[in-house]
Amino acid sequence: MMVQSPYIQIGIQFEKAIEFSLNEEYTLPSGSILNGRCIVQMKGNGLLLKNGSGEHSINSGTELKPLNKAEGTFTLHGVTIGINFHWERKEDQTFKGSLKLLIEDKKISAINILPLEDYLLSVISSEMSATSSLELLKAHAVISRSWLLAQIQKNKEIEEKSESYVSMQQDEHEHIKWYDREDHANFDVCADDHCQRYQGITRSSTKHVEQAIGATRGEVLVYDGDICDARFSKCCGGKVEVFEKVWEPVNHPYLQSFLDSDTELSDYSLDLVKEDAAQFWITGQPDAFCNTSDKSVLSQVLNDYDQETNDFYRWKQTYSQDELSQLVRERSGIDFGLISDLVPVERGDSGRLIKLKVIGDKRAMVIGKELEIRKTLSTSHLYSSAFVIEKEEKDGQLYFNLLGAGWGHGVGLCQIGAAVMGAKGYDYKAILNHYFRGATLNKRY
Ligand SMILES: [Zn+2]
Ligand SMILES: [Zn+2]
């Protein structure tokens, strides 16, 4: 059993040059003490750091450590958040702990290193709203902690096997890709939605969040002795997806598919891998925890910029044939010509498309998995890949209506569903039992 909180490394910024401010005194391995505004650029195989104190040549991988561990914070200037999302913007962000600078893919990566429990306080504060119920926050603290420790473990295993992580299968007929550990060789997690949204300590934490983290300190979900890779997304769409349909083909018994509800549904066939059932489900309004428009509940899990979105349970996106053809060409880099059809090939248990055939007058190809489909069919990301395609002819033009369900990959905990459960009085153990079946709680430190 670990006694102390482990440390975590988070990749925050990736630029040719990085500007930052050290808000207290920080030390370099050389013993130099730095404070205030800095800029770091690449110089040969190393880095050149300029500061009021002068210029310092440092190695790639150098860690700037706060002189007074408990107090040190630094600010990264112009961090891009929500990369490729409709709300992408730049802001200054302040972090607690150390700053590691290293060269990766001809850019400088700024990596924050701090105790995992401190990191959790930040992510839960920025992921969730201050109005969230304590039980929802506790459930989130446990899954975030479990997921992080599982990623650290997974990266270690990939490193030990010294094989690169495979996340693609491709030939001339199929392009199947998933997005998971593929580009995180030098840190544990990134700061974007890809891993877990992390914006430093700029968003102040509340007593509520501190209480939830403290009450569950060191607590993780465990299955068969291993820490669970506890996933979560915004809204499952009524039925939860299984892990291997979205990521690598590995079965996790605690990440199964089930109705996001405590009651049975008699009006629907739940075998959503079947096209008919998926059509009926996605174009319907089945009862589920996450089928809610209760603003007080939604504001618990959605930040201000996420509340710009309120049609997440069932949504619609329309493209003309020309728009769709151009979009897919730009997003995939594949020229299909004029696209005449989108044909579902394979669906996951939540109705999410795992494989989709794109048919154009120049070529046809099957694309997948769910995130690749979402990226290909949108200038940012479609809400989800659980959609059906309706073709419509208007004024001599062909239109594609994508009618969809849910927001995100839909695996594991459904954040909106969990918020509703919390509001209905379920405690965090019941929420975790609902979403991670067969997993148990275990205190690791
Ligand atoms: Zn990531
Ligand atoms: Zn749900």
The predicted structure's pLDDT at residue 185 = 82
Q: Ligand 1 centroid vs 334 CA: distance in angstroms?
A: 25
Element counts in the chain: helices (H) and strands (E): 10, 24
Mean of pLDDT over the chain: 91
Q: Ligand 2 centroid vs 301 CA: distance in angstroms?
A: 13
Pairwise pLDDT comparison (274 vs 124), residue with the higher score: 274
Provide long-range contacts, Cβ within 8 A and 24+ apart, for 34-43: 34/64, 40/101, 40/108, 41/16, 41/17, 41/108, 42/16, 42/17, 42/103, 42/106, 42/108
The bound ligand whose nearest atom lies closest to the alpha carbon of 9 is 1
CA distance 388 to 411: 20
Q: Ligand 2 centroid vs 140 CA: distance in angstroms?
A: 15
- Number of neighbouring beta carbons within 10 Å of residue 101: 22
**What number is the average pLDDT over the span 334-350?**
97
CA distance 101 to 351: 42
Task: With 0.95 as the threshold, say if the pTM is over it.
Answer: no
**What number is the average pLDDT over the span 117-144?**
89
Lowest mean pLDDT segment, chosen from 89-93, 102-106, 218-222, 232-236: 89-93
- Number of neighbouring beta carbons within 10 Å of residue 62: 20
Share of the chain above pLDDT 70, in %: 94
CA gyration radius for the chain? 23
CA distance 103 to 273: 44
Q: Ligand 1 centroid vs 403 CA: distance in angstroms?
A: 28
Q: Ligand 1 centroid vs 109 CA: distance in angstroms?
A: 13
**What number is the average pLDDT over the span 408-429?**
96
Burial of 324 (0-12, 13-18, 19+ CB in 10 A): buried
- Cα-flanking dihedrals φ and ψ of residue 218, to 5°? 75, 0
Q: Is the peptide bond before 96 cis (omega within 30 degrees of 0)?
A: no
The predicted structure's pLDDT at residue 444 = 92
Q: Ligand 2 centroid vs 398 CA: distance in angstroms?
A: 33
CA distance 430 to 417: 13
CA distance 440 to 425: 21
- CA nearest 109: which of 194, 7, 183, 30? 183
pLDDT digits (tens, 9 = 90+) for 351-379: 999 999 999 999 999 999 999 999 999 99
Across the strands, what pairs with 330?
none
Tell how strand 174-177 and strand 364-368 pair up: parallel
CA distance 114 to 96: 7
CA distance 93 to 13: 10
* Sequence-ordered list of residues with C-beta below 8 angstroms from that of 339, at least 6 positions apart, any chain: 321, 324, 325, 328, 358, 359, 360
